[in-house]
Structure formats: structure tokens, C-alpha cells
């Protein structure tokens, strides 16, 4: 059940400001608050009307409507706006929980990007494109994924996800220098809670280009940084797949015993994980213990 927030009194008080005008930061934060209230209520008109023209043009109303039908959003509070460049603000959202069919993801803190358009502040929000880009990647439709990633970045260049999707698309297309550059941008944009996702991508990239020692280091960093966010933000499946990455790197370094230990740890986290099943087939048979 969606949590519908009653904000009219608070917003009117904020807008009135005891008879004074809102500062630029206050106006941006108020716009972010209205957007999050509409998002959590599943209010299409409120969400659509709060979006930048770039977001509306690149996503289209059907993608936004589908997202609202399939996704429930809850949050604790909206923080103070921070100016990152003229005409652009970032606003933190604490306690964000996003639920769609099959999963719930909790972010201790997420950020909205707002752009000034005319006399108001509009939200540069691209989340309805995230799953479409991921689906294109899994279906090896890398050009489509690249188009979606570019749309995400055009809407909100400060969110790590567009750059991460661009990285995977460039990887799939064999454009490794561009893939590495996109990954560097993703890491620069990621919050503390988002960094494990980027570090796991670094591990995959390093393993793919034949640098298993680097891959193992990145995978371990990803697991270490994900500990405060597991299992709320990072799922058992993600944890197991990152342990499998560690095992693959260890195996590439010639350490089959350590690779097997990573496989055991992955099985403890997610015993039916598909990546784990494939990895077990790659493991060498260890010598039986002598009596």
C-alpha cells in the first residue's frame, strides 16, 4: 500500500515564509518535496508536471506511467538543496525505499537533481529508464542500451547510473577506452551507498581485460563497502555474484583452493545463484583427502 503524505499545510507554510519570498535553495527543496510526495502517492499528474522538459521528452509519458503502476516509493524526508552549478541544485532524500515486482531496495540516502526552468525548479529524474537499459544489456542489445544510457545522462548527468549503463554498453560493443572513461565518471558521481555497485563493475571490467589481481582487489573493496548496506540495498544475489567475481579472479591467478572458498561463501549467501552454478563448473577438482 502506498504511503500518501499530506503536505499541503507544510508546503503552504514554507511557501508563505512568514510573508517573505523563498530563497533559491528553499524553492528547489520545496519542488523536490512536492515531487517526492507525488511519487510516493503514485500521482502521475504531479510527477509528470514536476519533471524537466528534457526528462519528459526523452522518457515519454507512457514510461513514467508504467513506472508508477509497477513501483511503490516511500521515503523519510527531503533535505536542504545544495547548488552544484548556476541553475542546478541537488537535494538529498533520506530513507528511500523502492519496491517493484520481485524486489525491494532501500537507499539510506539518494539525491535528486533539479534544474531551473523559467521561474521554477523542475526535477531531472530518469529512473523509469534504468530497468530498460539493464534489460537491453542482458539481451545483448548494446546499441539500444547505449541510447538509453545517453538519455539518462542527458536528463541527469549527476546520477551514477547513466554512466554505469554507458560503461556496460561500451564494453559490449568492444569500445574499452570509452567503457573505462564512463566507469570513472560513474565512480565520481556515486554516493557511498552506490559505490559498491561501481566497484563490482570495475572488477568485471578488469577481469575481462586480463587483470585478475586488480579484479580481485576491486571485488573485495565492493564487498567491504557494501557491508553497511547489506541486505537492504545490496541483495544476497548481488553478494553471491560479487563473491563469484572474487573466485573467478582467484582462479585466473592460479589459486583454485581460494576460488573454491569463494564459491562456498557465495553458496551460503545465495545457493541457487545462476552465476555460482556456472562458476562451479569451472572449478578444478581438488585432491581428495588421504585417509
- Give, for all 291 residues of the chain, the pLDDT tens digit: 444 343 433 443 344 444 457 899 999 999 999 999 999 999 999 999 999 999 999 999 999 999 999 999 999 999 999 999 999 999 999 999 999 988 999 999 999 999 999 999 999 999 999 999 999 999 999 999 999 999 999 999 999 999 999 999 999 999 999 999 999 999 999 999 999 999 999 999 999 999 999 999 999 999 999 999 999 999 999 999 999 999 999 999 999 999 999 999 999 999 999 999 999 999 987 554 443
pLDDT value of residue 4: 39
Question: Nearest to residue 170, comparing CAs of 199, 137, 198, 139?
Answer: 137
Cβ distance 82 to 191 under 8 Å? Answer: no
CA distances from 132 to 4, 45, 127, 159, 223 (A): 27, 22, 10, 16, 26
The upper half-sphere exposure of residue 98, i.e. CA atoms within 13 Å in the direction of its Cβ, equals 19
Cβ distance 124 to 54 under 8 Å? Answer: yes
3-state class percentages of the chain: helix first, strand second, coil last, to nearest 5: 60, 15, 25
pLDDT value of residue 287: 55
The upper half-sphere exposure of residue 106, i.e. CA atoms within 13 Å in the direction of its Cβ, equals 10
* Prediction pTM value: 0.90
Q: How far apart are alpha carbons 126 and 149 in whole angstroms?
A: 10
Cβ distance 52 to 123 under 8 Å? Answer: yes
Amino acid at each position: 500500500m502506498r504511503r500518501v503524505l499530506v503536505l499541503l499545510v507544510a508546503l503552504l507554510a514554507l511557501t508563505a515564509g512568514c510573508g517573505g519570498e523563498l530563497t533559491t535553495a528553499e524553492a528547489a527543496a520545496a519542488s523536490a518535496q512536492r515531487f517526492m510526495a507525488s511519487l510516493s502517492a503514485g500521482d502521475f499528474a504531479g510527477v509528470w508536471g514536476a519533471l524537466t522538459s528534457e526528462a519528459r521528452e526523452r522518457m515519454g509519458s507512457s514510461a513514467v506511467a508504467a513506472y508508477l503502476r509497477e513501483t511503490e516509493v516511500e521515503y523519510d524526508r527531503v533535505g536542504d538543496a545544495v547548488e552544484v552549478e548556476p541553475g542546478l541544485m541537488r537535494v538529498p532524500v533520506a530513507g528511500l525505499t523502492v519496491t517493484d515486482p520481485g524486489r525491494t531496495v532501500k537507499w539510506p540516502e539518494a539525491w535528486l537533481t533539479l534544474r531551473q526552468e523559467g521561474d521554477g525548479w523542475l526535477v531531472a529524474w530518469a529512473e523509469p529508464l534504468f530497468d530498460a537499459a539493464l534489460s537491453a544489456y542482458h539481451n545483448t542489445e548494446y546499441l539500444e542500451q547505449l541510447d538509453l544510457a545517453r538519455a539518462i545522462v542527458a536528463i541527469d548527468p549527476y546520477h551514477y547510473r547513466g554512466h554505469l549503463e554507458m560503461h556496460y554498453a561500451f564494453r559490449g560493443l568492444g569500445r574499452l577506452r570509452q567503457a573505462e572513461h564512463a566507469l570513472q565518471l560513474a565512480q565520481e558521481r556515486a554516493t557511498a551507498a552506490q559505490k559498491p555497485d561501481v566497484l563490482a563493475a570495475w572488477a568485471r571490467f578488469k577481469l575481462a581485460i586480463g587483470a585478475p589481481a586488480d579484479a580481485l582487489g576491486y571485488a573485495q573493496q565492493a564487498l567491504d563497502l557494501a557491508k553497511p548496506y547489506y541486505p537492504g540495498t545490496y541483495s544476497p544475489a548481488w553478494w553471491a555474484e560479487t563473491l563469484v567475481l572474487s573466485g573467478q579472479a582467484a582462479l585466473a591467478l592460479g589459486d583454485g583452493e581460494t576460488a573454491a572458498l569463494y564459491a562456498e561463501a557465495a553458496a551460503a549467501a545465495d545457493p541457487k545463484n545462476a552465476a555460482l552454478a556456472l562458476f562451479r563448473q569451472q572449478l578444478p577438482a581438488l585432491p581428495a583427502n588421504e585417509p
